[in-house]
Chains A and B, each alone.
Chain A
């Protein structure tokens, strides 16, 4: 089983964590068009390779954090508290 680094708890088993989605996607203003809103809600780069993701240590400390992870190799480069 893979282990993921929680910034507060250290390395823990993967099934303690839940993937939320891409990190760093800014919420558009209330005046956003339908197309902009759709981009924000649904459209993703779905990168093959390096990705910046949002995770929650759901069966641990319960806190959200960012994870730099490679989707092609599953390698984890870094974990940090949420920045945006």
Chain B
């Protein structure tokens, strides 16, 4: 970003050019000269009310809700690289809320509901397409497990239906209908409100709206140390100097343990590479998101026409942003078995993000062992779908010092009391 503005943290800023048909027409006639920048790359001030570490979706959303909901606009978002360049830009953009336990369903469905109104709220088209997500069952045992999961999800108030084999094959005609294959279609779970969105737009939409409310977005600013005085976090040392604040939030996904280590505590997390890959672009051929209940592989088609594919975590802890070929191979093999017509496609790109997996596959939202520092981590493989909720809940914590009722079940204390939200063993997809 060129053209830095020294002015920072000054509260309300000049309004952005709204994105609308009228603006498009007017700017078209004016030679596109009147658009305001979506957001400014700021220099840090020495002190803020709140500092949010991590300029991904969760961090930017946190800053936005701090300013919008709680009226706290002397806020800085510190990003070590560029905004949305970590997992926010590396995920497969799936949004859904088909979780087993009531606390999880309430959290993720709140997020889906916020996503449903986000384009309007941010005046930024996040292209949320609720095209439905199917989880395919391959045999009778799968179907029985799915019926149990579906009942639990429906009791949680989430829109879930169990589809028969014929309904699935009518809906997704590219699936191999033969019964003798390795992963035959026996039926499926569908959440019709699930879908995909444009991930970069989520980051930029929150950044633009937060910037308009006075938030400073500071890039290339890596936290290198914590200044903890009398048990309370007073300031962070960064590659761009010391920055003090009353309260700090961290939303740094796979690097949560690294920051916690700097602050002198440990977290119940392991960092893993989660990979994704895309094929060459095709004409529209697959409308829904389709996943397998057994092998973990899933696929959807992007607006550009590429098939976006992913699967399970890589097999061992990693901070290297590249995936293991063994997992790439198993994802592609599983999908080609389910969709034989994809076999002739070429893979164009493959990449990985570092995710922070918790023992119960549920996030950690709450105070840290250091006063003044609050946590938003442990989303594991499912952070993107939770961005609006994660931002709302961390903002609530930072503004009030207390957990929101929705995030209360997800605090760090659950690992000591044993009150886990054990989605890891609930038999549902993550």
Contact = CB atoms under 8 A, between A and B. Distances in A.
B interface SS class:
mixed
B319 A44 contact: no
A14 B255 CA distance: 25
Interface in A25-43: 34-35, 37-39, 41-43
A42 B316 contact: no
A45 B257 CA distance: 7
Closest 5 CB pairs of A and B: A46-B257, A42-B268, A19-B316, A38-B416, A15-B326
Nearest to A20: B316
B324 A14 contact: yes
A19 B271 CA distance: 13
A1 B261 contact: no
Interface in B319-337: 319-320, 324-326, 329
B318 A74 contact: yes
Contacts of A34: 416-418
Interface string A3-32: 000000000011101110000000000000
Contacts of A19: 315-317
Contacts of B269: 44, 46
B326 A14 contact: yes
B234 interface: no
A48 B316 CA distance: 13
A46 B326 contact: no
B258 interface: yes
B19 interface: no
A73 interface: yes
Given A38-B416, A51-B317, A44 B324 contact: no
B103 interface: no
Interface of B: 255, 257-258, 261, 266-271, 315-320, 324-326, 329, 359, 415-418
A69 interface: yes
Most chain A CB within 10 A, of B269, B270, B316, is at B316
Given A38-B415, A38-B416, A71-B271, A45 B316 contact: no
A43 B267 contact: yes
B325 A1 contact: yes
A68 interface: no
Contact of B316 (A13, A44, A69, A73): A69
Interface of A: 1-2, 13-15, 17-19, 34-35, 37-39, 41-49, 51, 53, 55, 69, 71-74
B266 A2 contact: no
A48 B319 contact: yes
Contact of A42 (B324, B325, B415): B415
Nearest to B360: A42
A43 B316 contact: no
A14 B320 CA distance: 16
A45 B416 contact: no
A72 B317 contact: no
Nearest to B268: A42
Contacts of B266: 39, 43-46
A15 B271 contact: no
Contact of A18 (B258, B270, B315, B325): B315
Given A1-B326, A14-B324, A44-B257, A71 B318 contact: yes
B324 A1 contact: yes
Contacts of B318: 71, 74
Contacts of A46: 257-258, 266-267, 269-271, 317
Nearest to A4: B316
A35 B418 CA distance: 10
B422 to A, nearest CB: 12
A45 B325 CA distance: 27
Contacts of A35: 416
Given A17-B315, A71-B318, A72-B320, A45 B326 contact: no
B317 A14 contact: no
A74 B261 CA distance: 21
Contacts of B325: 1-2
Contacts of B270: 44, 46
A2 B152 CA distance: 41
Contacts of A15: 315, 326
A13 B326 contact: yes
A55 B327 CA distance: 18
B320 A73 contact: yes
Nearest to B413: A38
Given A1-B326, A14-B326, A15-B315, A44 B268 contact: yes
A51 B267 CA distance: 16
